[in-house]
């Protein structure tokens, strides 16, 4: 409802008036189809006061009073406050609801802008805020709306998903808040609703802009649909039926893509919504059309709208390259976040910009005593008691991601045996320092110590991860020297034991350490990355 409207007739009771069988059948059939999901849910009806939503509300009242509908939805009317008459319409809807004994809530929307899209967004936001988790919102969209939606998407070049139109039952999740949008009238023609509204003398608000205006939807309604109807009088039903068929096809395509994804994603590097990784060798085992569908599905995860075909084509080309250029970056501005898509070796990465920003935050060097009897810098003060408790060390965090280590002092003990320093455990410290590009370390993957590019290549560390590597070292200090001073000259032991990235770790071998079991290290020090659940 967006401009001055023709004000409605007076309100009359509808209980005794005849029900429209066609409209009732559509609602009750849809209710039966989603009966299980409807169990125990609170149901609301979005009512603009216009013909369609007022007719749906009226039908609910009639069916409920006849005992054919087990629930009476609560009406929700949103006052956009954009028109001089907005408050009058809101009052009118509230009065009608009162006369029909159907509960009604009037909500005030805060619209940013003046176009229909801004009003719709504000309307959904305010209704969503009113609904509790898993509540159901009934909308009065019908077959004509569906046909217009499908045509609109067709001329925009949509795929199977877009051409399947609006969905009769749609779970919508935003910031972990889940609601269901229910459209039981998608197969019902506007003409049937109009004659029902007329028979009931429903006092709906007639918005003249619905048929006027210069947006694509009203243009299609006014100029194109009547022409199409000349070629086929069933055009609205037919397009709505095509949408239903495509909706089934879309579910099949999606299920296949989800199945293909299981074979191709690199689970160990997955960080939902922040980092998703696909194995190119596995991708290329699929026929090309399934590769495209899979990339479309993979890229669009965590987002309400799928990526454009151009991006899917560009990512496909990236996956097909044979050179060793890992610098190419593709950018996608999603609705929720923006992403960079990159390739490193035989893997495709979809990285969120928040994640990339976090990966660039500097890491500070930290030193901790391992076993000490002073209270201040206490890690495992009593080896027999608190030594069993994991001690957390924060490596890097911002408001989204936290990278923390858990150290089990007791578990570090077997490591000490390899240094033959068991009796000096109170002289031991543990250091966490960003890996210096020139620092040479030896991993189990190489026969000699490596540094810089060679090391990154051996470990397969992509460029955006290289500022997020931490070396954990065990250091022996001299008790006689001042507390914080490491005695490098007297005591040469500063043994790197572990190299960490936020998602992987590598045991750093030394001659001494090779004699012991490297798994001790991983059970003594574990790295953990926390991502907020809403992310």
Ligand X SMILES: Nc1ncnc2c1ncn2[C@@H]1O[C@H](COP(=O)(O)OP(=O)(O)OP(=O)(O)O)[C@@H](O)[C@H]1O
Residue positions in the annotated binding site for ATP?
Answer: 48-53
Write down the least CB distance from residue 35 to ligand X, Å: 21
Q: Which residues pair with 170 in a beta bridge?
A: 181
Pick between residue 1 and residue 493 the one whose CB is nearest to ligand X: 1
Cα gap 392→389, rounded to integer Å: 10
Q: Which one among 14, 69, 123, 146 touches ligand X, defined by CB under 6 A? A: 123
Question: Considering the complex, what minimum distance in angstroms separates the CB of residue 316 from ligand X?
Answer: 37
Shortest distance (Å) from residue 207 CB to ligand X: 6
Taking CB under 6 A as the binding criterion, the range among 73-81, 324-332, 358-366, 475-483 that sits at the site for ligand X is 73-81
Distance, in Å, from the CA atom of 219 to the CA atom of 155, rounded to the nearest integer, reads 13
Stretch of residues binding ligand X (CB under 6 A), selected from 134-142, 173-181, 278-286, 506-514: 134-142
Closest distance of CB 198 from ligand X, Å:
14
Q: Which two structure tokens, joined as six digits, stand for 191?
A: 């003409």
Could you give the residue ranges of the DSSP H alpha helices within 21-82? 21-33, 35-38, 51-65
**Stretch 297-326 residues interacting with ligand X (CB under 6 A):** none
Nearest distance in Å: CB 54, ligand X: 6
The partner residues of 331 in beta bridges, in order of sequence, read 340
| 451 burial level (CB within 10 Å; 0-12, 13-18, 19+) | middle
- Closer Cβ to ligand X, 183 or 396, answer by number: 183
Contact string 461-500 vs ligand X (x = CB under 6 A): ----------------------------------------
**What is the closest distance, in whole angstroms, from the C-beta atom of residue 275 to ligand X in the complex?**
37
φ, ψ (nearest 5 deg) of residue 182: -120, 125
d(CA 271, CA 525): 21
Nearer to ligand X, 141 or 350 (CB): 141
CA 313/CA 332 separation, integer angstroms: 13
Q: 52 or 354: whose CB is closer to ligand X?
A: 52
How far apart are the two ends of the chain, measured CA to CA in Å? 35
Is 76 a binder of ligand X (CB under 6 A)? yes
Hey, how many other C-beta atoms are within 10 angstroms of the C-beta on 309?
Answer: 13
What percent of the chain is helix, strand and coil (3-state, nearest 5)? 40, 20, 40
Q: Which of 19, 23, 57, 78 binds ligand X (CB under 6 A)?
A: 78
CB closer to ligand X out of 46 and 188: 46
Could you count the other beta carbons within 10 Å of the beta carbon of residue 448?
A: 7
b/e code 44-59 from CB counts within 10 Å (16+ = b): bbbbbbbbbbbbbbbb
Separation in Å, CA 462 to CA 200, 327, 400: 68, 10, 22
Q: Identify the residue whose tokens are 């899209």.
A: 117
Residue 292 near ligand X by CB under 6 A: no
26-55 residues in contact with ligand X (CB under 6 A) are 46-48, 50-53
| Cβ-count burial 61-79 (b if 16+ within 10 Å, e if not) | bbbbbeeebeebbbbbbbb
Interface of this chain with ligand X, residues 359 to 388, rule: CB under 6 A:
none
Query: Does residue 260 touch ligand X according to CB under 6 A?
Result: no
Q: How far is C-alpha 292 from the chain's CA centre?
A: 21
Q: Which two tokens stand for residue 206?
A: 């007639």
Q: Does 347 bind ligand X (CB under 6 A)?
A: no
Determine the interface stretch with ligand X among 74-82, 431-439, 450-458, 501-509 (rule: CB under 6 A). 74-82
Q: Please, are residues 499 and 470 in contact by the beta-carbon 8 Å criterion? A: yes
Which residues have C-beta within 8 Å of that of residue 80, sequence separation ≥ 6?
1, 2, 86, 109, 111, 119, 122, 123
CA distance 518 to 504: 15
Binding ligand X by CB under 6 A: which of 164, 210, 291, 347? 210
**Minimum distance from CB of 344 to ligand X (Å)?**
46
Q: How many residues bind ligand X (CB under 6 A)?
A: 18
59 sits near ligand X (criterion: CB under 6 A): no
Q: Smaller CB distance to ligand X: residue 51 or 296?
A: 51
202 part of the interface to ligand X, by CB under 6 A:
no
Considering only the stretches 75-83, 226-234, 321-329, 362-370, report the one whose residues sit in contact with ligand X under the rule CB under 6 A.
Answer: 75-83
* Min dist. Cβ of residue 170 to ligand X (A): 13
- Binding string, residues 136-155; x marks residues near ligand X by CB under 6 A: ---xxx---x----------
Q: Which of 1, 405, 507, 508 binds ligand X (CB under 6 A)?
A: 1
Report the residue number whose CB is nearest to ligand X: 50
- Residues at the binding site are 48-53
Cβ distance to ligand X smaller for residue 58 or 507:
58
Q: Which residues bind ligand X (CB under 6 A)?
A: 1, 46-48, 50-53, 76-78, 123, 139-141, 145, 207, 210
């Amino acid at each position: 409802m967006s401009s001055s409207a023709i004000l409605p007739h007076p309100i009359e009771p509808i209980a005794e008036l005849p029900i429209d069988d066609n409209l009732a059948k559509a609602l009750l059939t849809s209710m039966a189809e989603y009966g299980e999901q409807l169990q125990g849910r609170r149901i609301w009806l979005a009512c603009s006061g216009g013909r369609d939503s007022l007719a749906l509300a009226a039908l609910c009242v009639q069916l409920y009073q006849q005992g054919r509908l087990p629930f009476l939805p609560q009406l929700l009317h949103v006052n956009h406050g954009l028109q001089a008459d907005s408050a009058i319409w809101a009052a009118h809807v509230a009065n009608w609801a009162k006369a029909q004994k159907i509960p009604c809530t009037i909500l005030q929307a805060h619209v940013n802008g003046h176009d229909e899209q801004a009003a719709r967004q504000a309307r959904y936001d305010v209704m969503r805020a009113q609904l509790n988790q898993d509540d159901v919102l009934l909308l009065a969209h019908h077959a004509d709306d569906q046909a217009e939606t499908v045509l609109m998407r067709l001329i925009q070049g949509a795929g199977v998903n877009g051409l399947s139109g609006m969905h009769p039952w749609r779970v919508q999740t935003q910031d972990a808040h889940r609601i269901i949008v229910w459209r039981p009238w998608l197969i019902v023609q506007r003409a049937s609703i109009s004659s029902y509204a007329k028979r009931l003398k429903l006092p709906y608000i007639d918005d003249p802009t619905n048929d006027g205006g210069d947006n694509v939807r009203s243009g299609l309604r006014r100029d194109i649909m009547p022409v199409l109807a000349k070629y086929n009088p069933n055009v609205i039903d037919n397009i709505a039926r095509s949408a239903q068929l495509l909706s089934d096809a879309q579910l099949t395509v999606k299920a296949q893509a989800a199945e293909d994804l299981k074979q191709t994603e690199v689970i160990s590097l997955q960080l939902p919504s922040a980092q998703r990784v696909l194995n190119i060798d596995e991708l290329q085992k699929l026929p090309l059309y399934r590769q495209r569908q899979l990339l479309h599905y993979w890229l669009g995860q965590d987002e309400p709208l799928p990526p454009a075909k151009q991006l899917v084509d560009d990512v496909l080309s990236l996956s097909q390259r044979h050179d060793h250029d890992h610098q190419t970056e593709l950018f996608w501005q999603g609705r929720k976040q923006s992403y960079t898509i990159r390739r490193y070796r035989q893997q495709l990465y979809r990285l969120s910009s928040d994640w990339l920003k976090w990966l660039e935050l500097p890491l500070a060097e930290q030193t901790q005593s391992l076993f000490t009897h002073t209270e201040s810098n206490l890690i495992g003060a009593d080896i027999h008691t608190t030594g069993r408790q994991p001690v957390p060390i924060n490596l890097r965090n911002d408001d989204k991601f936290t990278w923390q280590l858990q150290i089990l002092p007791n578990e570090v003990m077997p490591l000490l045996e390899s240094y033959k320093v068991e009796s000096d455990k109170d002289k031991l410290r543990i250091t966490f320092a960003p890996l210096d590009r020139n620092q040479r370390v030896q991993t189990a993957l190489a026969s000699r110590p490596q540094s810089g590019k060679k090391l990154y290549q051996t470990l397969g560390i992509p460029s955006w991860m290289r500022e997020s590597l931490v070396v954990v070292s065990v250091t022996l200090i001299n008790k006689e020297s001042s507390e914080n001073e490491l005695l490098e000259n007297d005591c040469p032991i500063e043994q790197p034991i572990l190299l960490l990235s936020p998602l992987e770790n590598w045991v750093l071998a030394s001659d001494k350490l090779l004699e012991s079991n490297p798994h001790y290290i991983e059970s003594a020090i574990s790295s953990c990355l926390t991502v907020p659940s809403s992310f």
